[in-house]
Structure 1
Amino acid sequence: MASLDKKNILFLSPSFFSYEVEIQDALKRMGAHVTWCDERPSNTFLTKVLIRLNKKVVKRKIINYYSGVLNQLIKEKKEFDYIFIISPETLTLPILTSFKNSFHKAEVILYMWDSFKNKGALELLPEVDRTITFDPIDAEKYDLKFRPLFYINKYKAKEAQILYDLLLIATAHSDRYIFVRNLMCKLPDKLRFKTYFFLSSQKLYWAKKIVEKNFKNVKLEDISFTSLSHDETAEMVHHTKVVLDINHPEQVGLTMRTLETLGAQKKLITTNKDIVRYDFYDPTNFLILDRNDPNVPMDFFNTAFKPVGDDILKKYSINGWIEDIFELD
């Protein structure tokens, strides 16, 4: 069995709700030495917008950033066994080639937790040794290994008083807000429904109000601009009977929230019809909603979560994910 003990990993990923920290910690617990670099040259509102609209506008900034990162690593005489990349937005083929040339012994692993059409990382594949994706359509289309996401240890099931019947914690994008407003009209008043819609800044809120049709009627008071920590989110999940998940309409792969709910052994209501493909799917635990006409049978709240096997919980844990990504089993 392969091991990460004393392996040196260069980890390139976006900063995303501290998941990059959780991944680093898990790798270190498995014995690896990890050097993390933010995949973006900056996380300012303007830079993020420019990267997503047209990264050519910030091409020089990206090149200078990666040149600085590479020069510093060389100066420190770093050597790596792996270059591990997650869902890159700014990394280009020439930049990745320069990293491979500098660390020629390193195996390059790319994991996509977004679809290629959203990230445009296909150009990197010639320089990647192994590519894995959470998207079953991309996996089939590009003949790649398919591997869903994971849950972190904070979401492991534990006993807690139920404070909410239904919980939604989500970034306010696409049709999520409209969907929830429509759903709320159909739920009984006695149902304890907790929602937490998040956006990174008020600037983004007002920009969406201007350019996105689905955002026209979103009320400022319904949006929070402070991101919940994993501890806070996990606590809310533990105090909940059922979690609501609204996937992006153009996304097929399962959200992180889906796997976190599985880890917490909570029931899930989701708009993602693709969930029936997965080995943990059970209609007792998962209810699929019609995106255009959501109706929730109240009987779903009256039955308990049907426990899943330890093998499934291990598979979808962060350790199981790492073992799969690095082919340790």
Structure 2
Amino acid sequence: MNDLRDKNILIIMPQFYSYQSKMREDLEARGAHPHFYNEEPEKTKFLILKNLGDLLHDKHIFDGFNKKLKNQILSEMPEDGYDYLLVIRGNVLSEQTIHELKNKALKSSGKSIYYAWDSFENMRHKGEIGRLFDWRGTFDSVDAKESKLGYELLPLFYSDEFDGAKLEAPTEYKYDYISVSAFFPFRYRYFKAFKKANPDKKMCLKLYLNPSVYRGKKIKDPKLVKNLDMDIISFEPFKPEEIREMCRNSKAILDLAHEQQQGLTMRTMETLGIKRKLVTNNIYLRDYEFYNETNDLILTDLAAKADKAEQTGDYSEFILPGGEWLDKPYLENEGVRQKYSIHSWIDNLFIN
């Protein structure tokens, strides 16, 4: 474990669920002094600026945000500067902002760290920002292999709330399968297919649809949100403790990543942490040391299968395994599992 006692750490990252607070807890427990800043404007403003930038072909649309962020950081920085600069994703940060923060906020002996909490293809800078840092890592195994900038693979983590070693096992499982995530049309389509195909199983499939997104889609794409299945849709976000309890009370977790996603989702890591079986459409799960067929099932070609099912009315290809797989004892490897905790993740970030 790297000694972070009394180290001042500047962290610029997305506000993503409660993960900032989990990181803060770990760093402060080590005696560090983390200072967090958001890496892009709040969502509505970000979307407005992004759309304007695309429309006007303006590469400098986020310059105002960068200037405001940089000035705020410099005005609030510790008197003797920061020991570490950690940027996670950095979707709209400019090279000038990074250079100025390294020169004015980071100690001469300090270290700069970049972590791609998203695939390069999904970020405006396509991972090129990483070359400005002393160390660069990514959660995406394919990006790590193919990048010429020396990115190291560092998967995401599970927090203590999802540490199965610290949770009481249920005496009786409430669900066979649960899935809780944000609304995307592809997920909603597949959830409906899984629901139709598995009436014999105890399923809890939930998608959070932001009310403002729903109102926008009613105007732009009314067919998409017409006659929504309210057994699947929730207009209220789920609290982390609610999600954890759903996972704890289920035999398996169904995790449907974006169709082109290569890195493992946070839900995948939480499933590993809580020691539950996993069904996912991410074929890259096979690249990881904890993958095994006793615990993990990979689904393929869901789009083609959904097309066929909707044409024929035969949803049999969406039938999930029953007791023959669900009730087979979970195959444990505690040494491997602990390598993916938030504490190991932070060790790996700051030990480099």
The match for 2:183 is 172
Query: Alpha-carbon deviation of 1:97?
Result: 0.8
The match for 1:243 is 253
Give the paired residue count: 322
AA partner of residue 163 (structure 2) = K
The match for 1:27 is 27
Measured in 2, the distance between the counterparts of 1:98 and 1:180 equals 47
| Bigger mean CA offset, 114-123 vs 53-62 | 53-62
The 1:7/1:203 distance shift into structure 2, 3 A limit, reads same
The match for 1:135 is 140
The match for 1:65 is 68
RMSD (Å), alpha carbons: 2.3
Measured in 2, the distance between the counterparts of 1:23 and 1:214 equals 41
Measured in 1, the distance between the counterparts of 2:12 and 2:260 equals 25
Give the gaps of 5 or more residues in structure 1. Answer: none
Measured in 2, the distance between the counterparts of 1:94 and 1:220 equals 47
User: Is contact 1:7–1:81 with CA below 8 Å preserved after alignment?
Assistant: yes
3-state SS, counterpart of residue 268 of structure 1: strand
AA partner of residue 93 (structure 2) = L
3-state SS, counterpart of residue 289 of structure 2: coil
Rg larger in structure:
2
Measured in 2, the distance between the counterparts of 1:207 and 1:253 equals 29
Measured in 1, the distance between the counterparts of 2:132 and 2:25 equals 27
AA partner of residue 317 (structure 1) = S
The match for 2:287 is 277
Matches within 5 A, 1:162-311: 162-187=173-198, 189-199=199-209, 201-209=210-218, 211=220, 215-216=224-225, 219=228, 221=230, 222-290=232-300, 291-292=302-303, 293=305, 294-298=318-322, 299-307=324-332, 309-311=333-335
Measured in 1, the distance between the counterparts of 2:227 and 2:265 equals 23
TM score, norm. by length of structure 1: 0.90
The 1:135/1:162 distance shift into structure 2, 3 A limit, reads same
Measured in 2, the distance between the counterparts of 1:118 and 1:153 equals 29
Matched, 1:50 2:48: yes
The 1:237/1:137 distance shift into structure 2, 3 A limit, reads same
Q: Percent identity at matched positions? A: 28
3-state SS, counterpart of residue 175 of structure 1: helix
Matched, 1:91 2:93: yes
User: Is contact 1:289–1:296 with CA below 8 Å preserved after alignment?
Assistant: no
Measured in 1, the distance between the counterparts of 2:338 and 2:258 equals 27
The match for 2:161 is 154
User: Is contact 2:119–2:143 with CA below 8 Å preserved after alignment?
Assistant: yes
Matched, 1:327 2:343: no
AA partner of residue 17 (structure 1) = Y
The match for 1:109 is 113
Q: Deviations over 1:33-64 (max 9, x none)?
A: 11111112x32x42131355455574243134
AA partner of residue 247 (structure 1) = A
Q: Deviations over 1:146-196 (max 9, x none)?
A: 111100000111312411111000111251110111122211x23111122
User: Is contact 2:83–2:107 with CA below 8 Å preserved after alignment?
Assistant: no
The 1:214/1:100 distance shift into structure 2, 3 A limit, reads farther
AA partner of residue 180 (structure 1) = F
Query: Alpha-carbon deviation of 1:104?
Result: 4.2
Measured in 2, the distance between the counterparts of 1:153 and 1:305 equals 20
Query: Alpha-carbon deviation of 1:131?
Result: 0.8
Measured in 1, the distance between the counterparts of 2:257 and 2:51 equals 22
Measured in 2, the distance between the counterparts of 1:323 and 1:110 equals 14
User: Is contact 2:23–2:342 with CA below 8 Å preserved after alignment?
Assistant: yes
The 1:212/1:278 distance shift into structure 2, 3 A limit, reads farther
Matches within 5 A, 1:11-22: 11-22=11-22
Query: Alpha-carbon deviation of 1:218?
Result: 6.9
Query: Alpha-carbon deviation of 1:304?
Result: 2.6
Q: Which runs of 4+ in 1 moved over 4 A?
A: 54-58, 209-214
Query: Alpha-carbon deviation of 1:209?
Result: 4.9
TM score, norm. by length of structure 2: 0.84
The 1:327/1:68 distance shift into structure 2, 3 A limit, reads same
Measured in 2, the distance between the counterparts of 1:23 and 1:215 equals 37
Measured in 1, the distance between the counterparts of 2:229 and 2:128 equals 39
3-state SS, counterpart of residue 82 of structure 2: coil
Measured in 2, the distance between the counterparts of 1:244 and 1:218 equals 24
Give the gaps of 5 or more residues in structure 2. Answer: 54-58, 306-317
